[in-house]
């Protein structure tokens, strides 16, 4: 009989993420160990517990019989099946699951991945949704479908980036005619995609349901060699807005508005007198706010969405490396006397420090519900090799309480995180390997 239990987050404040791999499932001679199931009859000598073939345990010493010595006894709530969220009389059951060997990442079953850092300070389990050739997350649809950027080799020396969609753990390419994708954003029933199209930047809409593509607008652009993401892109129900470095229009650094639903022309809202390094773009009431570096100095600007006024500078500009907005307040990574996460009052322009990010470089990543999420990075030496460690944090937007460590990769990197209905989504790259993996982790 299939067993269920109340979902309890696996007790590890820090999820120490290493290389997420999907290895062959362990076997009892008939490949039942850690495979997905619906009933005990699917599992041979094991039991179907929360959708996975395993067995109940009291300690890790009793788990060797399940497969091999690389197993441990863990709370069954780490198993991914939704049925584990249902309450039952089994209490906090423990089950046998793959263990993380020191410095190694062992997988268990098609949806489980084991995570560990180089010194094995702790372990946690998370779902692997897809692996190569995903390079980053574009956006997440309201129904939970994850839109991703997919890299496809078209010759030994050349590749292109396409749009993919992950539903469950299945990756499919969609709208293959859209190539050289830069970024995307979900608005309403569409995924808005920005891409290079020859000597232009093109913006298209992909309908979530039909996957039909509507060409919205194109802007002439020069694409210098090595440019991969010279823009920022946001959208609301009124329009699409972006910043771009385009050398054949006034100023070089420009803010644009395009049509939201129907094909049409774009409007140049404003231009900066120099060619800046655009970092961030967001909404603030009826205005657009963007952070740009001019001569390496960060400056904060605003302009009405309808273009009724010119670009204006907001004060002297914070010593910031990144900015995000929730439409009412601005959140920054600050670089004054150490690293901090701060919030600006848009009326008074007063900056409030919310959290101390230590001495490591930090970057605000996203906002979700009542939380702000940010990353810190650190370079450490392992012997003669430099290792790049990255940690993801979150804290209350009002600055109350303590910051929480959510994910740490030693060594490795992750792309921009996304939050959807209690899950954190990341594309991770671990160790020295370039391979990337799309994972999701339950949030505390």
How many other CB atoms are found less than 10 A from the CB of residue 404? 16
Strands 297-304 and 312-313, how do they pair?
antiparallel
Q: What percent of the chain has pLDDT over 90?
A: 30
- Is the bond preceding 219 in cis, omega lying within 30 degrees of 0? no
User: How many other β-carbons are positioned within 10 Å of the β-carbon of residue 381?
Assistant: 8
Contact partners, residue 64, CB within 8 Å, separation at least 6: 71
Lowest-confidence segment of 57-61, 112-116, 136-140, 377-381 by average pLDDT: 112-116
Q: Rounded to whole angstroms, how far apart are CA atoms 167 and 424?
A: 15
CA nearest to 206, candidates 161, 176, 229: 176
pLDDT at residue number 181: 92
Number of domains into which the chain is organized: 2
Q: What's the pTM? A: 0.75
Percentage of the residues of the chain whose pLDDT score is greater than 70: 68
pLDDT at residue 10, as a whole number: 30
Q: Which of 225-229, 243-247, 274-278 ranks highest by mean pLDDT?
A: 243-247
Q: Does the pLDDT of residue 15 top 80, yes or no?
A: no
For the record, the structure tokens of 45 come out as: 């000598």
Residues 353, 224 share a domain: yes
Q: Which residues partner with 413 through β-bridges? A: 429
Whole-number pLDDT of residue 305: 94
Contact 326, 333 (CB under 8 A): no
Q: Is the pLDDT of residue 122 over 60?
A: no
CATH number at residue 193: 2.120.10.30
Do residue 221 and residue 302 come from a single domain? yes
The candidate with the shortest Cα–Cα distance to 163, out of 153, 212, 151, is 151
Q: Which residue has the higher pLDDT, 141 or 30?
A: 141
Are residues 100 and 237 located together in one domain of the fold? no
**pLDDT over 90 at 118, yes or no:** no
User: Are both 75 and 197 inside the same structural domain?
Assistant: no
User: Which pLDDT score is estimated for 224?
Assistant: 58
Examine the pLDDT at 113 and tell me if it is beyond 60: no
The CA distance from 369 to 371, in Å, is: 6
Residue 1 covered by a domain: no
Does residue 244 fall inside a structural domain?
yes
In the prediction, which pLDDT does 431 show?
A: 57
Does residue 214 fall inside a structural domain?
yes
Distances, alpha carbon 311 to alpha carbons 253, 254, 319, in Å: 12, 10, 20
Beta bridge partners of 169: none
Is residue 426 a part of any domain in this protein?
A: no
What are 66's strand-pairing partners? none
> DSSP 3-state assignment of 191?
strand
Residue 30 lies in a domain: yes
- 91 sits in the region (left: phi over 0; alpha: psi -120 to 50; else beta) called left
pLDDT at 27 over 60: no
Lowest-confidence pick of 292-301, 304-313, 344-353, 365-374: 292-301
pLDDT score, position 33: 73
The pLDDT, as a whole number, for residue 31 is: 60
- The pLDDT confidence band at residue 133, using thresholds 50, 70 and 90, is confident
The token duo for 372 is 């702000």
Residue 158 lies in a domain: no
Q: Which residue has the higher pLDDT, 277 or 179?
A: 179
| pLDDT of the residue at 423 | 87
Residue 143 has pLDDT above 50, yes or no: yes
For residue 426, give the H/E element and its range. Answer: strand 423-430
Which tokens hold the place of 43? 């599992």
- For residue 103, what pLDDT is reported? 32
The answer as to whether 120 is a domain residue is: yes
Residue 241 shares a structural domain with residue 333: yes
Stronger pLDDT, 23 or 61, i.e. the higher one: 61
What is the residue range of 341's domain? 174-406
Does residue 152 belong to any structural domain of this protein?
no
Q: Give me the pLDDT at residue 74, please.
A: 66
Alpha-carbon distance of 151 to 155, in angstroms, equals 12
Under 8 Å between Cβ of 409 and 430: yes
Residues in the chain: 444
Tokens of 230: 């010279």
What pLDDT digit, counting tens, does each position of 389-434 carry? 788 899 999 999 999 888 877 667 788 999 999 888 988 876 555 6
Residue whose tokens read 């420009």: 254
Alpha-carbon distance 277 to 294, whole Å?
Answer: 7
């Amino acid at each position: 009989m299939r067993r269920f239990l109340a979902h309890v987050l696996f007790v590890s404040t820090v999820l120490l993420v290493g290389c997420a791999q999907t290895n062959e499932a362990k076997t009892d001679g008939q490949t039942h160990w850690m495979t997905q199931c619906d009933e005990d009859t699917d599992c041979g000598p094991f039991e179907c517990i929360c959708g996975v073939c395993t067995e109940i345990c009291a300690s890790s010493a009793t788990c060797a019989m399940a497969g091999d010595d690389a197993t441990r006894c863990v709370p069954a709530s780490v198993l991914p099946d939704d049925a584990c969220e249902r309450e039952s009389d089994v209490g906090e059951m423990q089950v046998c699951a793959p263990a993380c060997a020191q410095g190694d990442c062992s997988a268990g079953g098609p949806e489980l991945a084991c995570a560990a850092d180089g010194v094995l300070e702790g372990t946690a389990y998370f779902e692997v949704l897809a692996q190569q050739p995903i390079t980053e997350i574009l956006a997440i649809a309201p129904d939970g479908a994850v839109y991703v950027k997919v890299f496809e080799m078209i010759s030994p020396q050349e590749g292109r980036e396409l749009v993919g969609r992950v539903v469950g753990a299945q990756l499919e390419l969609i709208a293959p005619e859209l190539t050289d994708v830069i970024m995307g954003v979900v608005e309403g029933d569409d995924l808005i995609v920005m891409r290079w199209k020859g000597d232009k930047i093109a913006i298209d809409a992909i309908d979530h349901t039909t996957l039909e593509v509507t060409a919205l607008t194109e802007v002439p652009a020069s694409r210098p060699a090595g440019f991969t993401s010279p823009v920022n892109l946001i959208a609301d129900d009124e329009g699409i807005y972006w910043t771009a470095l385009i050398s054949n229009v006034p100023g070089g650094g420009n803010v644009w508005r395009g049509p939201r639903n129907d094909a049409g022309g774009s409007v140049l809202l404003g231009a900066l007198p120099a060619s800046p390094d655009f970092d961030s773009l967001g909404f603030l009431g009826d205005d657009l706010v963007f952070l740009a570096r001019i001569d390496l100095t960060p400056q904060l600007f605003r302009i009405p969405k309808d273009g009724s006024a010119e670009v204006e500078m907001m004060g002297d500009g914070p010593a910031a490396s990144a900015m995000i907005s929730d439409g009412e307040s601005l959140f920054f990574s600050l670089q004054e006397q150490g690293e901090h996460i701060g919030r600006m009052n848009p009326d008074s322009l007063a900056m409030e420090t919310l959290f101390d990010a230590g001495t490591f470089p930090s970057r605000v990543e996203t906002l979700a519900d009542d939380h702000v999420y940010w990353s810190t990075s650190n370079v450490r030496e392992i012997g003669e090799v430099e290792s790049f460690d990255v940690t993801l944090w979150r804290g209350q937007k009002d600055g109350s309480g303590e910051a929480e460590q959510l994910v740490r990769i030693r060594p490795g990197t992750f792309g921009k995180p996304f939050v959807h209905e209690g899950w954190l989504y990341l594309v991770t790259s671990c160790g020295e390997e370039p391979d990337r993996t799309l994972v999701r982790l339950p949030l505390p």
